Structure 1
Amino acid sequence: MAEKSNPLNKVEPLVNSIMGVQTEDVKQRRASEAAASKAIDWSALGTYVGGTAVQMGAMIAALGLLQLTTQGLPSRVQVGIAIVFFILVSIRSRVFSPLNNARTRTTYSNVSRPGWAPPPLAFPIIWMSIGVLRVIASYLVWQALGQSYLSLPLVLFMVHLALGDTWNTIFTVEGRLGAAVPMVLVGPLLSAVVVVFAYWQTVALAGQLLLPMVIWLGVASALVIAIWQLNGAEPMYPLKLDDSTLS
């Protein structure tokens, strides 16, 4: 009797392709394992701040460019451009970031995790679902504000996305478990709450649609803290590295 194929074997590649997730682990040593001391890496900190600022500026500039170039176009064309843009920033905002924002399972696969930690496949599925909600909510806000891109709620949304991408660099790409803890709390989580409030004040339904994003980021933050505790609880800042120990 032929063995039944697992539906996940078909779903997983599609989801990973859409979300840009690398399913094969790449060679990586966690930054904390290559730390020469407990000294703070000011260079890395400056890179994070500078990279985040550049991404925020680029995304806000994109809002301004759309504001200038889409006015006067047929209504259907404006709607189509808005939807495409919100899909782009909701799923692939990292194209605006100068930092390494590769989506990979390497860090998550190589660290000790709590028993309640979701399987790796859950993350792209959840983020894809949240991405759909982001697109709908942002479109509703855009329409409610007279099809204006340069508005406070959408600017705050761009800031939230940039902070999330920087957190991804710190945790997923570089494996800096300590620095990832305060970043996930004051970056993605706090900014998500601000975005929900701003959207809700503009269109109540838009804010309600993004509540699952806040709930998920709360769960993700608890997971980041648990992983940090289970893997040595290193200082909550980027550690200065000894380059000679890196492969």
Structure 2
Amino acid sequence: MAQQTEAVRRTPLTRDRVLRAAVALADDIGIEALSMRKLAKELGVVPMALYKHVSNKEQLLDGMVDVVMGEIDPPVPGSDWKSAVRQRILSARRALLGHPWTAQVMQSRSSPTPVVLAYMDSMIGMFRTGGFSVDLTHHAMHALGSRMMGITQELFDASPAPGGGAQTSASQEGAQEYPYVMELAAAVAHDEGSVVGQGCDDQFEFEFALDLLLDGFERLRDQGWSSADGLRGTGRYG
């Protein structure tokens, strides 16, 4: 063990090594527990040594996000716009699910890093080169929202209610008042650990919604839709 620690100390400290060690440490102990002191200890250096590579913890967090973004697969050459967008988003989802703290850090940033901006530029470019107008691309980006990064935020916390779960709780509150909620709740097999509802398959639900959006974007593109149509009162979506 002593030899291993000594070997770590002898390895030259670089910005890339600092960031990757921080990502691994956050994966292990959680982003809230991450500190410059703990990271320095993990790397076998004094905390001041880190500041030669990152000015402060905020810069460290930005760099960590960029490391995770670097795990997203590049666009596949020759793919049509829909396949390319779908592949990139699902790859982003794999990357962010592999480092669950990333979404929280990204949401805390006041502005995106250059790496995040490059990803967004690439996504927008897929729509533009796929025949989408600037107008429709703009609205498509709004519709995708956080799905562009492979994540979604549900309206309600789906954590089970104490002493019997969501369905039992709803029953106790009066199932007669919410017949459709109870009908839907009873219709699905429930598993644990889903953010879209206890028992729902997160990946399936994510891809289902993504495919609906992409199909809808394609239909609007083919119709030559413009937001001005809705403003003129000639119909929202044709």
Identify the TM-score tier after normalising by the shorter chain. under 0.3
Q: Report which structure shows greater RCO (CA 8 Å, sep ≥6).
A: 1
Q: TM-score normalised to the size of structure 1?
A: 0.26
The TM-score, its normalising length taken from structure 2, stands at 0.26
Query: Which structure's residues are more often helix, by fraction?
Result: 1
Which structure would you say has the larger Rg? 2
